[in-house]
Amino acid sequence: MVEQKPLYRLLERLVDIPSESGDETALGDFLFEWMKENALSPERQKTRDGRFNVLGRLTGSLRSESPKCLLLAGHMDTVSAGKDWERDPFCLEMTDEGFASGLGVADMKGGIACILWIAKKLMDDACPFAGTVELAFFVDEERYSIGAHDYVLSPVKHCPDFAILAEPHFHEIIVGAPGKVLLELVCEGKTGHASRPSEGINAIEIASEMMHFLNRDMAAAGDGDRGSYSALNIITNIDNYSLSIPDYCKVILNKQLVPGEKLEDFLKNIEEVFEQKVGRGSLSIKRGLPEYPGHKVEENNPFLKSLVREIADFGLPAPTLRNNDGVSDANILQSFLGIPTVLFGPKGSRYHTRDERIDLGSMDMYIDILDSYIRNVLK
């Protein structure tokens, strides 16, 4: 049976507290109190909808002419358990093979437990580094990243020089990701009797034409420099049978952004297509949440290079540096605050399923790696 280390008991407590996205308060309160007990200077940072992020800080005891700041961060929320769980999703189960399972155990309560334990080790050792280590636990990453958005909008005395999100990527470091944004494209026409369509401007038809020409334009441009997009929904102002020409049609569009691609260029392209190819009615565009610009950490970043060396010093294979397929809070931190941000955390698998699990041994190794990394990189 796996030894019941204090770290694992902390993980068990985190999994025991439900924190579905939108309802993270109980977990936030627990983190605040745990950090307070361990002198990690916690604070609750309110978000726009009444929830809160939990922040903390450690100040190094060593002196440096150019002190640096490192941010260790994660998200408190999980997805919903759904109906396919055959046991209590909030009960941590550990196996003889060295794994633990439970809702959010990998994505990312295991990472949170590791961050807390690293901070505790450093504090117990009188913070043997120069500069500061900041901690941040965000709400809402699984939905709109409201926690990360409000973190970057808050007044900050200084900006971290590098950030590590303890997402479940152990044998690889995620150094970049595409972006995405949800757009509302509102086409307005002119109503009239549907038996005389030429006397009006059908908003559904002009929205359809707009999408047709956008698709043709995308196909002509090819892949590489532009991310894909997809229409998710179409909403009109007519719910039932009517012989009125619809004068309103809203297209909900998800737009992927490759690193370096500017959303403003895509919006300008839509407006040009509408004006030149559709040529009737009107178009208005609204940007909504989620909005994640693409991001990329340069491979010669000194903090990243030091992290790769630290991993090698522990006898592990050199981690793969790659771009992620999806988005995370890293998109927000780097794009809006300019913090080079990577994803590196304990090894997990099968996220968002009833079989979600984490490798307990990787948690111990991860803590040792980052503890040593902080002492070496913050000198």
Q: How far apart are CA 325 and CA 141, in angstroms?
A: 16
In 213-297, the DSSP E strands lie at 229-236, 248-257, 282-292, 295-296
CA Rg value for the chain:
24
Catalytic residue among 141, 142, 150, 161: 141
The two three-digit tokens of residue 168, written as one number: 């479940």
At residue 331's C-alpha, the angle toward residues 326 and 336, to 5°, is 160
DSSP 39-84: T---EEEE-TTS-EEEEEEEE-SB--SS--EEEEEEE--B----S-
For 257, counting Cβ atoms within 10 Å of its Cβ (0-12 exposed, 13-18 middle, 19+ buried), the class is buried
Let me know: does 26 contact 78? Beta carbons within 8 Å.
no
Nearest partner of 163 among 335, 313, 294, judged by Cα: 335
Catalytic residue among 77, 107, 247, 356: 77
Catalytic annotation present for 77: yes
Let me know: does 278 contact 230? Beta carbons within 8 Å.
no
Phi-psi region of 173 (alpha: psi -120 to 50; beta: other; left: phi over 0): beta
The two three-digit tokens of residue 20, written as one number: 């579905």
Q: How far apart are CA 146 and CA 48, in angstroms?
A: 8
Which residues are known catalytic residues?
77, 141
